[in-house]
Amino acid sequence: MYRILIVEDDRVISKQVEKHLAKWGYEAVCVDNFENILTQFISFDPQLVLLDIGLPFYNGYYWCGEIRKISQVPVVFVSSAADNMNIVMAMNMGGDDFIVKPYDLEVLLAKIQAILRRTYSFQNQSAVAEHAGVILNLSDMSLLYEGKRLELSKNEFRILQLLYEHAGKTVSREGIMKRLWDNEYFVDDNTLTVNMNRLRKKLEEAGIQNFILTKKGVGYQLGNG
Longest CA–CA separation in the chain, Å: 63
- Compute CA distances 128 → 28, 41, 72, 185, whole Å: 20, 11, 11, 28
Give the least confident one: 21-35, 44-58, 75-89, 166-180. 75-89
pLDDT tens string 191-223: 888 889 999 999 999 999 999 999 988 999 999
- Cβ atoms of 210 and 223 within 8 Å: the answer is yes
Name residue 5's beta-bridge partners. Answer: 29, 49
Better-predicted residue by pLDDT, 1 or 210: 210
pLDDT at 225: 64
Element at 191 (helix H, strand E): helix 189-205
**Buried b or exposed e, range 121-138, using 16+ CB within 10 angstroms:** eeeebeebbbbeebbbbe
Q: How many CB atoms lie within 10 A of CB 94?
A: 18
Average pLDDT, the chain: 87
Q: Which amino acid is at 101?
A: K
Q: Backbone phi, then psi, for 211, in 5-degree steps? A: -90, -30
Look up the pTM and report it.
0.58
Model pLDDT, residue 183: 40
Q: Which helix H or strand E contains 88, and what residues bound it? A: helix 84-92
pLDDT for 16: 95
pLDDT in tens, 116-163: 888 776 455 457 888 998 999 887 789 999 888 899 988 899 899 999
